[in-house]
Chain A
Amino acid sequence: MTGPDHEKFVGYASLYAVGALNAPERLEFEQHLELCRPCVDEVMDVLPVAQGLAQAVPLREPPVSLRTRVLEHVTGKKAPLTETDTARPATAGSPVRPVSIDEARGRREERARGSRIGSILFGLAAAACLVAAAGLGWFASDLLNRNRALQQSLEAEVLRANRAALETQTTREAVTRAEATVAILTAPDVVVIALAGQPVAPQATGRAFWSPSRGLVFTAANLPALPANRVYQLWFVTPPNPISAGLLSLDNQGRVATTIPVPANLTAPVTLAVTIESAGGVPAPTGEMYLMGQPPAPRPAD
């Protein structure tokens, strides 16, 4: 049965799972979860996937010195040797050991006990579960355990498929481009520049996502079809002379989306413009301007 005001919370389960609710929204939703079985189901569905995001990051090796610093700071005692120092070759990281049948059975029994007594939702206060009583806890735990086990059984298959895909160079390159684009769009310092259509093409629009640290993604739409032997050229409008940012290739609907290298001397976003030029491009703009936009004024801190 859905809880009261359910319509208001459609889509909240996913936002909750990826941490996209602000504090009041989160509180409100957790109160709703006490009463709404479908919302609990949805959280259970997506929570393990969202938590998988924590592991889907590029692997980065910590400095060796960090271990001593952390252990001594936290416990106030001298750090003990690593397992690596005493027992195994230099492969720090997740130690793996074989598991016996007895151990595996013990673990399953332990998990079954844990399921009955505990709430499994991170961040859901224990008190919130009392309303729903033991039935919900069992139901939700069961689902989560099924999800977990399912994911475990998938690992080998997905790994194989993933590797096969990565074997072709074209896939690698496509992935690289997508990664670079995502990195720019999600950069903490990204600035969005809206480019407006100029009098020759008032319907044209453009957007630039410019991260000084990561690069520039440029998109445009509704650009008029080009006459023969003409191209659209993008410019960094810097005094005294604009610098070419390259030629734009349109799709058949007048759209473009591309990653643009930023010259090293441009440390902050500048005005961007698109002009029409002779095929092959020109060193300085000569043709009519189709799009133009300036970076927004820096925002005050919030």
Chain B
Amino acid sequence: MSSSPNAAVAASGILKVPRIHIVDNVVALNATQNAILQIQADADFEWWWLSISRTNALLKALIAEAGSGNRQFIYSGNPQAQNFQGILVDNLAGLVANNGALPIGVPYVMPAGRTYTHQFTDSSGAQNTVQFAYHGFALLRVAQ
């Protein structure tokens, strides 16, 4: 019998290590602020679920992937829309505790080290504390 913990790794040689990437921000009242998510450098990240907590639902978000032409995850279907601030966060996902995490229909691989810009816009008139939790797996290459 092998005593190595890697003996159970799939034939692909990739060990999926559960990982949660977090984006935290405290958005000042009626303000627009940015926050950056940077994928850990040790492994690509396979994104499976998104869950969100916030103080007040009157909070919009935009997410863009850097490094590949700033690809937008969220965009206005009308390119002529002015002052587009994004999706209300409750339309994006909810809490795990309420079975409200959004399953990513096709798990998306975020490359190691890549950054994702989050723009938050509050319209609640009060300070809004928000957390985005990206649930998934670090795709760790393991020597067999």
Partners in one complex: no
B-binding residues in A (CB < 8 A):
none
A-binding residues in B (CB < 8 A):
none
